[in-house]
Amino acid sequence: MPSPVVLPSREALLACLERELPAAGSDDALFARARFHGVTSLLYTLPEAARRGRCADASAFMQACRRDAVDISMWELAHREELARVLAALHLAGVDALLLKGTPLSFTHYAQAVQRDRGDTDILVPEDRRDVALQVLEREGYRRGVGVSGRFISYQADLVRVDRRGARHHVDLHWRINNSQILAPTLSFAELAAHAIAVPELGPHARAPSPPYALLFAAMHRAGHVDAPYRVGDEAHAGGDRLIWLLDIHLLTAALTAGEQHAFVGLARAKALTAVCSEALAATVRAFGTAVPPALVAGLANAPTPERSAVLLTASAWRHALAELRALPRWRDRAALIGEHLFPPPAYMRERYADGRLRWLPWLYARRLGRAIRRTSPGVPSRWRT
């Protein structure tokens, strides 16, 4: 397990946040941006020799960050215990599982787990064990949220449990690595599991992708959200450059050994993801001045063939939608995906689109269709997978 890499300074993180605000933005506005980027507890826990202005522990901004850090610390203790329990239950039922994204990285690459804020824990299981895994989580007290569903539109389920102390535990159960048809086939559970590492802090059954795979996955995750929306708290956002995601890429990149660098480049080229990975590394350089090893830069340059995944970074909504459809091999599957986008389950439609004046289901579907047409017009950033 690698030693934690030195994180950007408190001043550097604040500079990233302040670039998004008008001159002399208020402490409240700055704190709202820090919360969106998932760095409030990290800001408070970063060591500094000298702190002035907003960086000072006594400032109103840092006191607000301190309150978040305390809350997250308390949740972290409860969630660590909860995850060990869930992973043990899955293991007992014969379900292999891997932890993805922020939860394992908080132990393997951050100095303290509390520094890696997260709203849920992502767990990947084999596709043929999805139903068993869902049954296990339901027996453990988890309830599935209302969301889009179908064979193609979503390869994950959001589940939540409130424990006896009132702590909320969100689990995103995945049976494929991404909802994008372009990215979903790229990495199988079996391949990730074959190169997994242990995360002993979360119990004997906790495993996660090895560093080269974790970095590849982090780059894919960023690309998947350049246009596809995600939720922070109760609000929907789009864009792949949340600071906490870039920090994951920064830390993973800096901690790679020479052998792991070679393995990462080989994976990126074999999976036709060199453009996705190059842009992810470039984003961390812009944000934090990450010292990307020359071997990575050279290895990711000059992809041998055009890469379908590059469409996720720059395409218009219309081209993005077409690329997603073309990623499915059969016309009937493409038709099914279109139908799942246009006609999600009624419970989802009422929760997502209904208001006090408009609850008639046909009108709700018409509203969704209208939004889909607008969002896939040429030149409009894609929200096609909403």
Range of the domain at 238: 210-313
CB 272 within 8 A of CB 303: yes
296 and 239 together in one domain: yes
Percent of the chain with pLDDT over 70: 80
Predicted confidence at residue 383, as pLDDT, reads: 40
295 is a domain residue = yes
Q: Answer whether 79's CB lies under 8 Å from 160's CB.
A: no
Query: Are 268 and 358 members of one domain?
Result: no
Whether 358 is in a domain gets the answer yes
pLDDT score recorded for residue 378:
53
| Residue at 302 is within a domain | yes
Task: Note the pLDDT of residue 46.
Answer: 86
pLDDT in tens, 132-179: 999 999 999 999 886 667 787 789 999 999 998 889 999 999 999 998
- 274 occurs within a structural domain: yes
pLDDT in tens, 74-116: 999 999 999 999 999 999 999 999 999 999 999 999 999 999 9
What pTM, to 2 d.p., does this model score? 0.88
Say whether both 249 and 291 belong to one domain. yes
Q: How confident is the model at residue 385 (pLDDT cuts 50, 70, 90)?
A: very low
Residues 334 and 259 in one domain: no
- Under the banding of pLDDT at 50, 70 and 90, the label for residue 250 is very high
In this predicted structure, the answer to whether residue 1 has a pLDDT above a threshold of 50 is no
Domains held by the chain: number: 2
pLDDT for residue 356 is more than 60: no
Q: Where among 284, 313, 342 does a domain terminate?
A: 313
pLDDT category of residue 188 using cuts at 50, 70 and 90: very high
Average pLDDT, the chain: 85
Strands of the sheet with 98-100, listed across from one edge? 98-100, 121-124, 168-174, 156-162, 143-144
Q: Does residue 122 sit within a domain?
A: no
The pair of three-digit structure tokens given for residue 153, joined into one six-digit string:
């539109």
pLDDT digits (tens, 9 = 90+) for 293-337: 998 999 999 777 778 888 888 767 778 888 888 988 999 888 888
Percent of the chain with pLDDT over 90: 54
Answer whether residue 184 is part of any domain. Answer: no
Residue 288 lies in a domain: yes
Q: In this structure, what are the phi and psi dihedrals at residue 183, rounded to the nearest 5 degrees?
A: -90, -25
Please state, in angstroms and rounded to a whole number, the distance separating the CA atoms of residues 247 and 159.
26
